[in-house]
Amino acid sequence: MAEDKKKEIDNLTDHNYDGIMEYDNPLPGWWVWLFWGTIVFSIIYFFIVTMAQGELSPLGELRREKAMWQERKLAVLGEMAPSEETMLRLMSEPAMLEQGRSLYVGKCAVCHGQNGEGIVGPNLTDDRYRNVKTLMDVFKVVKDGAGGGSMPAWKTQMMESDMLLVSAYTASLRGEDLPGKTPEAADVEIAPWPKAEEK
């Protein structure tokens, strides 16, 4: 009994907090193995990711996914030349408009609103425009920007096919007349878009 009491006292550390003391018990074996295992794994993972030039990282996976998505899109669309015919074709295909909408939400909605009603950017759902007179002007504004930089040029950040998709979606919003930002004095009403059958 006395030996047990002495052993118990020997296992105590010198830490004493208002009479509360701490045992110097060894860490559980499973915890020690797990600790060293994570260190070994992190070292191996670091060298593998470094040698793969980041392709095994989440960023590399995102690059592969984007490349695959682009490849599939081109397989469906074929090579798209920026023309009025292409814009009208994209505007007539719901699946293409859906792709254009996903791009629009990610790139344009912060200024033009989720549905094109306009916030700081103009309302895209009415018939009044400032930098657009023809259907292809929509693509030009997306590509080169407008308003002295207030509308950014997306040509350095988006592929041409993506700019065509988002331009077609944007043009398709015309006529919905959603309540939102009111036109300014410089905005003028333009002629309707051409019909696909007229081309």
Q: What is the pLDDT of residue 199?
A: 47
Size of the chain, expressed as the number of residues it contains: 199
| pLDDT tens-place string over residues 63-73 | 888 778 777 77
Q: Mean pLDDT of all residues in the chain?
A: 86
State the first-to-last Cα distance of the chain, in angstroms, to the nearest integer: 103
The amino acid that residue 182 corresponds to is T
Report the alpha-carbon distance of residue 131 to residue 141 in Å, rounded. 7
Domains of the chain as residue ranges with CATH = 1-51 (no CATH), 82-173 (1.10.760.10)
The answer for residues whose C-beta is within 8 angstroms of residue 137's C-beta and 6 or more apart is 129, 131
The model's pTM? 0.64
Ranges of H-type helices in 52-134: 58-77, 84-91, 94-107, 109-112
- The arithmetic mean of pLDDT across residues 34-47, rounded, is 93
| pLDDT tens-place string over residues 71-130 | 777 666 666 789 999 999 999 989 889 889 989 999 999 999 999 999 999 999 999 999
Report the alpha-carbon distance of residue 164 to residue 150 in Å, rounded. 20
> Do 84 and 135 touch, CB atoms closer than 8 A?
yes
> Do 44 and 56 touch, CB atoms closer than 8 A?
no
Q: What is the pLDDT of residue 171?
A: 96
Partners of residue 23 on adjacent β-strands: 12
Report the alpha-carbon distance of residue 62 to residue 85 in Å, rounded. 32
